[in-house]
Chain A
Amino acid sequence: MTQKSFHDQHVTQLSPKTEPTPNTQRESLAAEVRKLSFWYGETQALKEITLSIAYRKVTALIGPSGCGKSTLLRSFNRMHDLYAGNRYSGEICLFPENHNLIDLDPFMVRLRIGMVFQKPNPFPKSIFENVAAGLRIQGVQNKKLLSDRVEQALRDAALWEEVKDRLSQSAYGLSGGQQQRLCIARALAPQPEILLLDEPTSALDPIATAKVEDLITEIRHRFTVIIVTHNMQQAARISDFTAYMHLGKLIEFAPTGELFTTPQETLTRDYITGRFG
């Protein structure tokens, strides 16, 4: 396992401007996974994962099917707790408080960490109510606050211009790409600390995909994003850091530009160059 510390990743003057330059301060981290293991019943799906999530950056999790990338992502908002027989060990610490979210109430965790799923899954309600859903769940009643937040979220999701005249119409009238951006707006409206994206473009056409990718690179200025993708080119295009996972283990974690040009591990190199064992 090659774990470059953030100190090691300090990039020299010569590296391109777009490469992230995280410092060693704690404020630059949104979360830290420490020796996280996870079991579905008897099957161990994650094996002592240790990983840092940079604050307001895009971190991509890639790897072959069954490598545990989605399992790791879903641990962040305790989705596994919905189903019986799942077990965690280890920590996922949220900064700045340094709370282990495995010990927190899962409902509290989900208020702080938003999620977007593989298939667009809007509620059978109006566009406005879809985006307002998270706020309503939190008990927000103030109409002004609701409509302000809904507009902001739709703008963040690059959807406002397309839907501003039909907010009261059903979300099902939108195209697949628009529905997915609506789901992103829905997750953004409560202003989560971390946004989880689980293969958000796997059901979309290339143009809709490009729009979603563009909005992800825009929102990272205000949100920390973790994205799981089976499309490693997507990880290359839009992420600042990439983690390569294999059989439940973290194999390599590095700034994206480095991981895709100079991988340190043979497994990583084989995967990103298309030499599957």
Chain B
Amino acid sequence: MVNAEMSQATLPNLTGIVDANRRTDLVMAGIGISVLIVAMSLLAAVVIDLIVGGWPRLINPDFYLNFPSRHPLQAGIVSAWVGTILVMLVTAGIAIPLGVGAGVYLEEYAARNWITDFIEINVSNLAGVPSIIYGLLALGLFIHGFGLGETILTAGLVLALLILPVIIVSTREAIRGIPLDLREAAYGLGADKWQTVRLYVLPAARSGILTGTIVGLARAIGEAAPVITIGALTFIAFLPPSPIQSSPPFINFEWLESPFTIMPIQMFNWVSRPQAEFHINAAAAGVILMLMTLAMNGIAIWLRYHLRRQIR
């Protein structure tokens, strides 16, 4: 009898709690979905606006193959996209080894003392420094200090510096994410630190490192400010020398010292012109820049998938 009374007293109560929980869930799901819809529609609006605005130029093959011109309908982006790709090559070539190396050092080798702490604080702070400051640094150090000139190499270096903190931090996080088990397994077999890192930690961490690297490069590809600061030209009617040649040694590095322009600068240039036709060009260039970023992410996803497949 007592039990029956108790259950009768508590049962409606329980139903109430369950119902309340269910309502809270529904409300939270609703809020989440609406936030998502707002964010996605804003993004979609920007993309659609750019595509619609730049459509007349996007469907014209000349746009991709012509150099800049005073006539909006003849102006193209060939020097800009070639420049962007070359600058990105330099940036990646410098930032990835340095960033991954520094990340591995800080995470695996650095002794825990005040010097390491000092370096760590600085690396984190560097990630927050405005990009124009990097431009000023490059102007002072690379151009006036080392006399490198307004070249692809200088642009690559400054963008590499800009994304170095991102790569270092993401490398450290990827390494820290490797379970202790895996490390102890390697050490347990008699591996030294370098063998453990090279053979087991880095391969296991590479998808995390790759993600961080792509995030960094995606940031670099859209940066205009530091590159403008070092004095990149906006009107380039020629391409840098080809990195590949038909005679030995088949590759050359003259292109590193070539003047250049890049997609964001080309866009900036067109946007700041009074003629409305140039704004169409700017929108079209914007779409291409976005596609380049997307392509980079695509490569990253494919690489990651491929690397995982290799394991199997």
- Whether B195 and A137, one on each chain, are in contact in the complex, defined by CB atoms closer than 8 angstroms, is yes
In order of increasing CB-CB distance, the 4 nearest A-B pairs are A121-B181, A111-B190, A170-B312, A134-B189
Asked if A121 contacts B185 (CB within 8 A), the reply is yes
Instruction: Report if A229 contacts B (CB, 8 A).
Output: no
Contact of B204 with A79 in the complex, beta carbons under 8 Å: no
Cross-chain contact A119 with B189 (CB below 8 angstroms): no
Chain A residues bordering chain B, tally (CB within 8 A): 31
CA A134 to CA B185, docked complex, whole Å: 10
CB pair B182 A123 closer than 8 Å: yes
Contact B311 A170 (CB under 8 A): yes
0 or 1 for each of A144-179: is its CB under 8 Å from B? (1 = yes): 000000000000000000000000011011000000
Name the residue among B190, B192, B199, B311 with the largest chain A CB count within 10 angstroms.
B190
State in angstroms the CA–CA spacing of A123 and B199 once bound together.
10
Shortest beta-carbon distance, A34 to chain B, in Å? 24
Type the 1/0 row for B156-192, where 1 means its CB is closer than 8 Å to any CB of A.
0000000000000000000000010111111111111
Q: Which of B179, B188, B191, B312 has the most CB of A within 10 A?
A: B188
Report, as a range, how many residues of chain B touch the other chain: 20 to 34
Is the CB–CB distance between A121 and B187 below 8 Å?
no
Q: What is the minimal beta-carbon distance from A27 to any residue of chain B, in angstroms?
A: 25
**Chain B 297-312: CB-based contact to A (< 8 A → 1; otherwise 0):** 0000000000000011
**Centre residue among B179, B185, B311 by max chain A CB count within 10 A:** B185
Within 8 A of A (CB), among B199-216: 199-200, 203-204
13 CB contacts below 8 A, A to B, read: A79-B184, A82-B184, A108-B190, A110-B188, A117-B181, A117-B188, A123-B186, A123-B204, A133-B199, A137-B189, A172-B312, A173-B312, A186-B185
Q: Specify the chain B residue showing the minimal Cβ separation from A121.
A: B181
Q: What is the bound-complex CA distance between A45 and B205, given in angstroms?
A: 34
Residue A84 CB within 8 A of the other chain: yes
| A124 close to B190 (CB less than 8 A) | no
Interface residue from A123, A126, A190 paired with B190 (Cβ < 8 Å): A190
Give Cα A6–Cα B6 distance, bound, in whole angstroms.
66
What residues of A have a CB within 8 angstroms of the CB of B71 in the complex?
Answer: none
User: Is B188 within 8 A of A125, CB to CB?
Assistant: no
A119 to B179, alpha carbons, bound, how many Å? 11
A138 within 8 A of B: yes
A51 at the interface (CB under 8 A from B): no
Chain A residues with Cβ below 8 Å from B203 are 124-125
Q: Which residues of A contact B192 (CB under 8 A)?
A: 107
Residue pair B188, A77 in contact (C-beta under 8 Å): yes
Chain B residues with CB below 8 A from A107, complex form: 190-192
B144 within 8 A of A: no
Given A82-B184, A114-B188, A124-B204, list of 16 further CB < 8 A pairs?
A79-B188, A107-B190, A107-B192, A110-B188, A115-B188, A117-B181, A121-B185, A123-B204, A124-B203, A125-B203, A134-B190, A137-B195, A169-B312, A172-B312, A173-B312, A190-B189
Q: By the criterion CB–CB under 8 Å, are B189 and A79 in contact? A: no
> Is residue B112 contacting chain A, with contact meaning CB distance below 8 A?
yes
A152 to B200, CA, bound (A): 24
A58 within 8 A of B: no
A71 to B183, CA, bound (A): 18
Q: Which residues of A contact B200 (CB under 8 A)?
A: 123
**Nearest A residue (CB) for B200:** A123
Across the two chains, which residue of chain A brings its CB closest to B183? A82
A187 within 8 A of B: yes
A79 to B155 CA separation, bound complex (whole angstroms): 47
Q: Which residues of A contact B179 (CB under 8 A)?
A: 121
Residues of A near B183 (CB, < 8 A) are: 82
Cβ of A183 within 8 Å of any chain B Cβ, yes or no, is yes
Q: Which residue of chain B has its CB nearest to the CB of A173?
A: B312
User: Shortest beta-carbon distance, A167 to chain B, in Å?
Assistant: 12
A133: which B residues are within 8 A, CB to CB?
186, 189, 199
CB distance from B162 to the nearest CB of A (A): 32
Known contacts A137-B195, A170-B311, A170-B312; is-contact A117 B184 (Cβ 8 Å): yes
| Contact present for A119 and B190 (CB under 8 Å) | no
**Who on chain A is nearest to B188 by CB?**
A115
Chain A 113-132 per-residue mask, 1 if CB under 8 angstroms from chain B, else 0: 01101010111111000000
Chain B residues near A190 (CB-CB < 8 A): 189-190
B189 contacts which chain A residues (CB < 8 A)? Answer: 110-111, 114, 133-134, 137, 186-187, 190
B112 surroundings in chain A (CB, below 8 A): 84
Q: Contact between A125 and B311 (Cβ–Cβ < 8 Å)?
A: yes
B296 to chain A, nearest CB (A): 25
Q: Are A138 and B190 in contact (CB under 8 A)?
A: yes
Residues of A within 8 A of B311 (CB): 124-126, 170, 172
**A121 — which chain B residues lie within 8 A by C-beta?**
179, 181-182, 184-185
A117 / chain B contacts, CB cutoff of 8 Å: 181, 184-185, 188
By a CB distance below 8 angstroms, the chain B residues around A77 are 188
Q: Least Cβ distance of B199 to chain A in Å?
A: 8
Known contacts A84-B112, A124-B203; decide if A137 and B185 are in contact (CB<8 Å).
Answer: no
